[in-house]
Structure formats: structure tokens, C-alpha cells
Amino acid sequence: MTDPCKTYLAIDLGASSGRVMAGRYQGRKLTIEEVHRFPNSGVETGDGWHWDFEGLFQSIVEGLGMAAKRYGSEVVSVAVDTWGVDYGLIDEDGNLAGQPWMYRDERTNGMIDEADRVVGKKALWERTGIQPMFFNTVFQLMAENRKSPEALEKATTLLFMPDLLNFRLSGVRAIERTIASTSGLLRAGTAEWDVDLAEKLGIPSRVLAPVTEPCVVLGPLSEEIASQTSLSGVMVSTCGSHDTASAVAGVPASAPNPLFLSSGTWSLLGRELDAADVSVGAMEASFSNEQGLNGTTRFLKNISGMWLLQECKRVWDEAGSGMDYSAMVDAARGAECVAWIDPDAAEFARSCDMPEVIGAWIKKSGQRRPTSQAQLVRTILESLALKYRKTLEGLKALQSGLPDTLHVVGGGCRNSLLNQMTADATGLRVVAGPVEATACGNVIAQMLARGDISSLAEGRSILAESFDPEIFEPTDPAPWDAKAKAFDQLVK
């Protein structure tokens, strides 16, 4: 007699698209199927950039209805993960006090310097273990309080984007731990808000509700949503609500404390640890301590990733000269690399004419400017591989005995050229996949919440049996050693 098939719905929202994915589990095999995909992009209004929250939510409800038609009573659970740091403010009646801001909005300009004046960057690091980046929630809230305080004044609760969606799905207000850890307001390695820090920076602590763990059942879909979707009795759970937390949970590693690269709009490169590292060395190397499933820490560095290619493609598409991503990569294979860039240069952080801005950066650095799209794509990919190498060298200086394997997951793991460059540049064996690691990790968390599996290790074992990775072995290191020396002169 075969085991019944259970279907877990993973709502996975990135900064450019959203999906409703189905994780179907029967016996020892997990399969991931896409149910519904929809665009997600910022909306520019009179005061800046926001997210179209209502549009996103309606797309999610549509996807849940599609899942009900496809899988029927097999559906047992749903969980939400999204990108980090962004939030909505809820008033006492449970309504949004304002349209959620988009993290790339410029209102946070100057907030890092102001926080430095008030408490000091070193104190921020020691208290939270999070590197100061312009989009961190703490700086967004500072900006909101100073520039447009109306929503904060009306708000009773802050909910991060996945928490806000959970609230709309279930009626339960809960702030999940992994997404809260991206804020720069949680005490390092804990589920406790640094209330003193918030008050010093002018952030009203009344909006910071107690933090809920991942892998917890919140309750059933509300009657309204159950009626709209025909998913009666389906439970809403917390997962690693920050998409990187779910992506790292979806790494099919057999050993503890794996090295990981979650490759998408951002490249999140680091190692899963058992505890936070708030040493001076970690601060100086610009690592952050974000939290994961089962009390783990994602000790990582944020690197601008496929964002650079996405913005180039947008500009080329608008000019009528664009290619799809696979064609871009194929063209880059045979192209000469004439320059490198720092992927994290401030000029590249926000939407712009990326090809022109990259060209200007290269010219300013004294290098030869690429003369074709293929050369520019090659420049971006080699620069990412070299930045990964530099980041891993910084990690090796902090921790001895690093693994010899780097797990690359997420949409970027389909880029075989970048995977081989990464293996060659770092000297590590690269294991690429699963592509849908975020949805996999989301599903694993739901299985843990329901008691269908007993540990993260068991979940990763299921993933290892369910998906075949692509392996990239490093080749001759000498050419990349020479490239790294030149790159290190550009990127201090």
C-alpha cells in the first residue's frame, strides 16, 4: 500500500516575481511543481517607490484557487516566504496604515550616518550582528519617522511582508524570526528586540510585537480565503519566512554547517553556523548574522548578484536589442573579458541605465571599456566569481576547516558558465541545485511544523534523494590566481 500524497503550497515572492509552488511528498520523494507565476515590481507614486501589496495578494489568492482545482484534498498546508527587510504597518482595526515601501527607495539616504552619530556603527554591529546597508528595516523606519511619520503614528503593529501576507491569509498577527533578523533590530542570535536601540533611533517600540519561531502552525486559512480558494481546513504555517532562510534550508547538504550561495537578484554567500559571530573580525569583513531554521545562523555577505544582469537586460530590451538570459550567457562564453567591476559599488545599487553606469565605472578605474553586450556580460560574471572568491577568503580567515564544497541554489544556479567560473576561481567543488531551493526549504519547514518529519537534517536527506544536482569541479587555478590579483587591486 502506497503512502498518501500530501501537497504543501509554498508562496515564494522575490523582488521581481512571485510564485505559488506545490511541494508534493509521497514516501521519500519530494517534487516541486509551479502552480502560478506573476510579476512583482515596485510602483512609483508621488512620494517614492512602494509595493503593490493588494495586487500581490490577489495574485496569491488566484494561485491558491488554481492549486485547489489541481490537487484538491491533497493540500494540507501553506506558508509564505519573501525577500527581506520590507514591511507593512497595521492600525488597530487591522488595516494597512500606508502602502508598504520598496527597499530600493531613496528615502533612506543619510540614515546610516545618522544612526552612526546616535549609537555608532560598532555598537549597531555588536548589538544586532547585522551589517549596516541602506535598505535595512532599521534605516527604513528611521526614514519613515522623520520624513513621512503619519503611518507610524497610526500603527499598532509592524509586520514584515511574509507576516503581512500570513495575517491576510489567516487573521493571525505574528512576526517570524528569520525575517525579523534581517531588520537590524533583533539582538544578535536571539528572538528579542533591542527595544533600547529602537527608542534611541526614534522608532516606537510599541510596533515590535513578540517574535514567533519558524516551523509553527499559525492556524487555518480564514473563512473568507477558504471560501475564495476552496481550500477549507488548510493550515497556515511559518517557514523560514525570509527567502534566503528557506533557500538555505533547501540546501541538500549531508554534513552540518555547509557553505552556501543563494544565487538570485542578490548573491547571499556564507556558511550555516550554530551561533552568531559578532567578533570584530566578522564586522570588519562585512559579514552579517541572519537567522535560520532550528536556531541556526546564516553567516553571510550580501553581494549584488543577478540584479546587474537584470538591469542590463531591462535597458537592452527597452532599446530593442535584448536577448534572453541563456543567450546572454552563451554569448559571454566566447567573449573576451576586458575589465572587472566591484558588483557592490554604490553606483549599481539602484535602478539605472546599468550598461552605461558600469561602463563609466570601468572607464574611471582605468580599464578598457567593453564594446559589446557579450563582453559586458562576461565582465559581470567574472567579477561575481572573483567577488565570491574574495568573500570566501575573508570567511576562511575567520573560520578554519571550511568545507571543500559550495552549494549553489536558486535561479542563478542554472548559469553553468558562472558555476564553472566560481569553481575555478574559488578552488571549490560546486554543487548546483535545486533551482527551487527556496520552495523546497519552505516545504520542509511546513513538514516540520506539522510533525511530518522530525528534523532539518531529515528534510535535507529527502531533498538529496529527490533532486539530481549538477557538479562543477575546479580546473587549473593559475589563470584565476592572476585575475584575482588584478581584481583585488580594484576592489579593496
Quote the number of domains for the chain: 2
pLDDT greater than 70 at residue 387: yes
The verdict on residue 122 lying in a domain is yes
- 449 part of a folded domain: no
The alpha carbon of 142 is separated from its chain's Cα centroid by a whole number of angstroms, namely 22
Q: Are residues 284 and 187 in the same domain?
A: no
Question: Does this model's pTM top 0.85?
Answer: yes
How would residue 2 be classed by pLDDT, with cut points 50, 70 and 90?
A: low
Q: What is the CATH number of the domain that holds 64?
A: 3.30.420.40
Q: What percent of the chain has pLDDT over 70?
A: 100
Domain boundary among 198, 213, 237: 237
Q: CA of 412: how far to CAs of 262, 418, 435, in Å?
A: 8, 9, 8
Same domain for 34 and 160, yes or no, is yes
pLDDT digits (tens, 9 = 90+) for 176-231: 999 999 999 999 999 999 999 999 999 999 999 999 999 999 999 999 999 999 99
- Which residues form the domain of 92? 6-237
Do 213 and 276 belong to one domain? Answer: no
Q: CA dihedral defined by 146, 151, 155, 157, rounded to 10 degrees? A: -80
| Angle, alpha carbons 317-318-321 (nearest 5°) | 45
Residue after which a domain boundary falls, among 237, 271, 303:
237
**Residue 447 resides in a domain:** no
Instruction: Based on the fold, state whether residues 216 and 261 are members of the same structural domain.
Output: no
pLDDT tens digits, one per residue of 84-118: 999 999 999 999 999 999 998 999 999 999 999 99
Q: Answer yes or no: is 244 within a domain.
A: no
- Classify each residue of 343-373 as buried b or exposed e, where b means 16 or more C-beta atoms within 10 Å of its C-beta: bbeeebeeeeebbebbbebbeeeebeebeeb
439 lies in some domain: no
Shared domain for 207 and 262, answered yes or no, is no
Whether 411 and 492 share a structural domain: yes
Are 336 and 377 a contacting pair, CB within 8 Å?
A: no
Instruction: Kindly compute the dihedral angle of the four CA atoms of residues 185, 42, 356, 415, in this order, to the nearest 10 degrees.
Output: 80
| Whether residue 283 sits in one domain with residue 212 | no
Query: Does residue 274 lie within any of the structural domains?
Result: yes
Compute the average pLDDT of residues 344-359: 95
Same domain, 184 and 51: yes
Active site residues: 243
Of 38-52, 176-190, 238-252, 405-419, minimum mean pLDDT range:
38-52
306 and 178 inside one domain: no
Q: Looking at the structure, do residues 106 and 23 belong to the same domain, yes or no? A: yes
